[in-house]
């Protein structure tokens, strides 16, 4: 009995801390912040989807082909053995006997997982302070409180081991195996059963109704997420075949990614390969789609596109995609200028000078067609004032979160950028991860613009969105998975 008293005290203090944190967050909303989840978790979400940066790849042949590729990191999935990454079954799933949060296909693999030992010790310490398990009594939390609580747990573990957790280690806390019903959140291993299809969503064994009907709309994407991790764990990065066909006419009848790929003689049947290809193609195809809607594709032999808030791991990844999925679709275009603008284009190990020298394919060079790349490591309104500023034909905000009032370095830099962008009177394409964000983004754009904007395309599901699923921590109660460029709208 003597041991229970301090545990109870610690648990009470922890609950009080979370309640205090929640109260402060609610206070910020009451004072005008409509961005509670993103305000708290934006940097964490970005960390979760970062991948190890690779070197520049060059074939060294006469094409002088150069690209920049990101290598996939490992993800924590409750459906896979944490040691060998083999798929688990109800018969083979063995929980870590100490922290009870990781899973293995055998006791031997649990003992062999030396990388887990340090964090396991910290997880045990935190669990002891919570009354025996980290997720004890979490059924009392709202969705937002539960998000805050998991952040608190991560910070406690980091303080114990005296280092930041890797993105994969954070996922042990962020995406645990607990009952998916928010008012339950049962955590005992033996009381839970997993979805028989995806293996990533658990519910109470004696309460099958706890597996919500809404899971059906996400289950297939969960399965794909697992397949992608299995393939990458065994084979490395998925390297889809890229189209090389150059079209003679604009494919005006093509209305989604699959139709474009078919037109380019690059029909892909494998779901993993298609998801990887859709992730690569979504930026140029969305930009092409926006200009087509505005009737601007045939107007000029030279097109300039500004990508505001660009990130290396997304817009810059596989740089030649801008030739393959934009220039090759638009025979009227002789020169395509892609200008990446954003304060996050600052990694010292990224050879931007070499990337600007990327050449097009031999066929395009013979026709004197080319793509020019520029990288501006600054805020857009700072780039606008430079003498080297090149006026755009299209501005893109890809997954930028315009509605957030705390952006880069927790400062709201959007108002000035939006005012300048909208005053240029060129088409603007905006995308978001979820349906929830799109109306907020267009509202912010209208609010900050100094002129009335014409809505060419209201917020809709983007027909050229990425089909590669990513887990969503920021608003998982609404959408447990998210996709790059999922929703889009266009104004002019």
Q: pLDDT 10s per residue in the chain (492 long)?
A: 444 444 445 445 555 555 555 554 444 434 444 444 444 455 555 555 555 444 444 434 445 555 666 667 889 999 999 999 999 999 999 999 999 999 999 999 999 999 999 999 999 999 999 999 999 999 999 999 999 999 999 999 999 999 999 999 999 999 999 999 999 999 999 999 999 999 999 999 999 999 999 999 999 999 999 999 999 988 888 889 999 999 999 998 999 999 999 999 998 989 999 999 999 999 999 999 999 999 998 777 999 999 999 988 899 888 999 999 999 999 999 999 999 999 988 776 677 888 888 899 999 999 999 999 999 999 999 999 999 999 999 999 999 999 988 766 567 889 999 999 999 999 999 999 999 899 999 999 999 999 999 999 999 999 999 999 999 998 898 899 999 999 999 999
**Triad 372, 374, 375: Cα angle to 5°:** 155
Q: Which two tokens stand for residue 121?
A: 């010790």
Residue 373, SS3 per DSSP = strand
Tokens found for residue 112: 């062999």
Rounded to whole angstroms, how far apart are CA atoms 261 and 278?
Answer: 10
Contacts of 311 (CB under 8 A, 6+ apart): 342, 344, 345
CB count in 10 Å sphere of residue 192: 18
CA-wise closest residue to 144 among 477, 488, 485: 477
Hey, which residues does 302 pair with through a beta bridge?
A: 335
Q: What are phi and psi of 227, to 5 degrees?
A: -60, -40
Torsion on CA atoms 13, 180, 194, 134, rounded to nearest 10: -10
CA end-to-end distance (rounded Å), the chain: 69
Backbone angles phi, psi at 364, to 5 degrees: -65, -40
pLDDT of residue 339: 97
Pairing relationship of beta strands 103-104 and 192-194 according to DSSP bridges: unpaired
Pairing mode of beta strands 481-482, 470-471? antiparallel
How confident is the model at residue 66, as a pLDDT? 57
d(CA 80, CA 333): 47
The beta-strand segments (E) located in 87-158 are 94-95, 103-104
Phi, then psi, of 491 in degrees rounded to 5 = -125, 165
- How far is 407 from 380, CA to CA, in rounded Å? 13
Nearest-10 crossing angle of helices 271-293, 216-235? 110
Please, where in the chain does CATH 3.40.50 lie?
Answer: 243-491
Task: Tell me what pLDDT residue 62 has.
Answer: 44
Dist. CA 373–CA 229, nearest whole Å = 32
Count of CB atoms situated within 10 Å of the CB of 216: 11
Q: How is residue 179 annotated by DSSP? A: B
Beta 335-341 vs 302-308: how paired, if at all? parallel
HSE-CB at 282 with a 13 A cutoff on CA atoms is: 30
CB 343 within 8 A of CB 363: no
CATH number of this structure's domain 243-491, picked from the four choices 3.40.50, 1.10.10, 1.10.8, 2.60.40: 3.40.50
């Amino acid at each position: 009995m003597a041991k229970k008293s301090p545990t109870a005290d610690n648990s009470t203090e922890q609950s009080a801390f979370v309640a205090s944190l929640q109260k402060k967050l609610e206070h910020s909303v009451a004072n005008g912040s409509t961005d509670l989840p993103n305000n708290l978790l934006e940097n964490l979400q970005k960390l979760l989807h970062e991948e190890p940066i690779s070197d520049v790849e060059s074939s060294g042949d006469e094409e002088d082909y150069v690209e920049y590729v990101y290598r996939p990191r490992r993800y924590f999935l409750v459906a896979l053995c944490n040691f060998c990454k083999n798929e688990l079954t109800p018969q083979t799933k063995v929980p870590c006997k100490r922290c009870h949060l990781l899973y293995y296909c055998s006791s031997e693999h649990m003992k062999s997982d030396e990388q887990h030992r340090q964090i396991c010790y910290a997880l045990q310490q935190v669990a002891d302070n919570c009354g025996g398990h980290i997720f004890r009594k979490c059924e009392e939390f709202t969705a937002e409180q539960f998000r805050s609580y998991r952040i608190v747990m991560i910070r406690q573990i980091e303080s114990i081991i005296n280092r930041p957790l890797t993105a994969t280690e954070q996922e042990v806390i962020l995406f645990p195996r607990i009952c998916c019903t928010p008012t339950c959140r049962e955590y005992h291993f033996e009381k839970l059963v997993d979805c028989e299809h995806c293996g990533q969503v658990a519910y109470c064994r004696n309460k099958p109704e706890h597996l919500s009907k809404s899971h059906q709309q996400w289950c297939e994407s969960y399965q794909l997420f697992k397949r992608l991790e299995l393939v990458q764990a065994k084979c490395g990065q998925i390297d889809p075949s890229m189209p090389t066909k150059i079209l003679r006419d604009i494919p005006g009848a093509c209305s989604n990614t699959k139709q474009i790929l078919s037109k380019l003689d690059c029909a892909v049947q494998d779901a993993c390969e298609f998801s990887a290809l859709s992730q690569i193609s979504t930026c140029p195809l969305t930009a092409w789609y926006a200009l087509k809607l505005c009737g601007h594709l045939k107007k000029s032999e030279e097109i300039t596109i500004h990508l505001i808030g660009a990130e290396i791991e997304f817009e810059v990844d596989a740089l030649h995609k801008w030739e393959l999925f934009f220039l090759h679709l638009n025979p009227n275009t002789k020169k395509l200028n892609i200008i990446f603008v954003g304060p996050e284009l600052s990694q010292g190990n990224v050879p931007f000078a070499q990337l600007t020298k990327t050449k097009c394919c031999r066929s395009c060079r013979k026709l004197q067609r080319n793509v020019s790349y520029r990288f501006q490591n600054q805020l857009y309104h700072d780039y606008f004032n430079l003498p080297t500023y090149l006026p755009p034909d299209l501005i893109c905000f890809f997954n930028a979160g315009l509605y957030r009032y705390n952006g880069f370095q927790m400062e709201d830099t959007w108002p000035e950028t939006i005012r300048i962008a909208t005053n240029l009177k060129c088409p603007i394409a905006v995308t978001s991860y979820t349906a929830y964000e799109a109306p907020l983004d267009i509202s912010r754009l209208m609010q900050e613009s100094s002129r009335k904007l014409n809505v060419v395309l209201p917020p809709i599901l983007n027909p050229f969105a990425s089909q590669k699923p990513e887990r969503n921590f920021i608003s998982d109660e609404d959408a447990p998975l998210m996709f790059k460029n999922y929703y889009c709208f266009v104004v002019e």
